[in-house]
Each structure stands twice: as structure tokens, then as C-alpha cells.
Amino acid sequence: MRLQGEKHTRQSLMATDGCPNAPGRLFVTDRCTKMQFLVDTGSELCVFPRSAVLQRRTRTTYQLSTANGTTINTYGYINLKLDLLLRRDFPWRFVVADITKSILGADFLQFCNLMVDIRNCRLIDNTTALSTWGSIVRSNIIQHDIFSENTSP
């Protein structure tokens, strides 16, 4: 995912239909809020659902959009401090958008030096050599390319 005003590059957005025997996606849980986050190495940004934000939010002028023309409205940013049971907190700025699941994108994973281990259902902290268990949600994945609109945020 990219914000408007940035160079167009294609990213993946996944939609699921609950099909058994399909590939899985790793989710990790914040200890304080008990909220699950999809660990998505294909997303450039961390995104947080507007429905999970307590304060009323006004829609911004920029949008996230899919290659098939579907737009995703955004509502500014929210700063969160995640506790992923790795003996350190992870403060991060999330884009608030009309999505259903929180997403930890590649920006967060790279900056925090975290590595994804799907086979063993865990997120590895390369700074401390600790790891945290996640859960694999199995589903049939339909991918859509995501890119930004032409207007600036």
C-alpha cells in the first residue's frame, strides 16, 4: 500500500473466502489490547482499522486504491505502542483506513528488525534474538494490486 502523491508501485492486498487447505497468513497479538495484526511483508505501510479507533475521524484527501479501481478511504494517522511479547515496546505510526484487519507492513518489520517465520508461526526479533508466537489463519487468498492515487496527502 502507498499513500497518494508517492510513485506508483504495485503492492498486494488480500481478501479471504475461508477455504480450508489453502495458504495461511501470520497474525500476532498485541498483549495490551489483545488486538491481532496481520503480518504482511507485501504491504509497505502499517494500517489500522478506522472502526477500532475510539475518536471520531474525518476522511482525508488521500486514498489507498486497488488496481481494479476500488478505493480505500483513509483518516489520518494514529500512534500506537505495541507489546508483542519481545521484551521491548514497538511505537509506530499507522495509517487509519477503512479496512477490517490491522496490518503490520514491511516498513515496521524492517525498521524494528523483525523477521517473519511462517513455517514456525512466529515473528523473530533480530535485535534481541527473541521470538513471539503468532497464529496462522488459513484461507484462500485473492490478491489485488494496490497503488496510490495521484493527489497529495
Mean of all residue pLDDT scores within the chain: 80
| pLDDT band at residue 138 using 50, 70 and 90 as cut-offs | confident
In order of 18, 45, 81, 108, the CA distances from 5 in angstroms are 35, 14, 27, 21
Regarding pTM above 0.95, the answer is no
pLDDT at 43: 85
Exposure of 74 by Cβ count < 10 A (0-12 exposed, 13-18 middle, 19+ buried)? buried
Residue of 96, 86, 4, 87 whose CA lies nearest to 46: 96
**Is the model's pLDDT at 13 over the cut of 70?**
no
Determine the topology of domain 11-145 in CATH.
Cathepsin D, subunit A; domain 1 (2.40.70)
Instruction: Give the domain ranges of the chain.
Output: 11-145
Mean pLDDT, residues 92-106: 93
Residue 145: pLDDT over 70: no
**Is 146's pLDDT higher than 90?**
no
pLDDT band at 14 (very low <50, low <70, confident <90, very high): very low
Q: Which residue has the higher pLDDT, 71 or 121?
A: 121
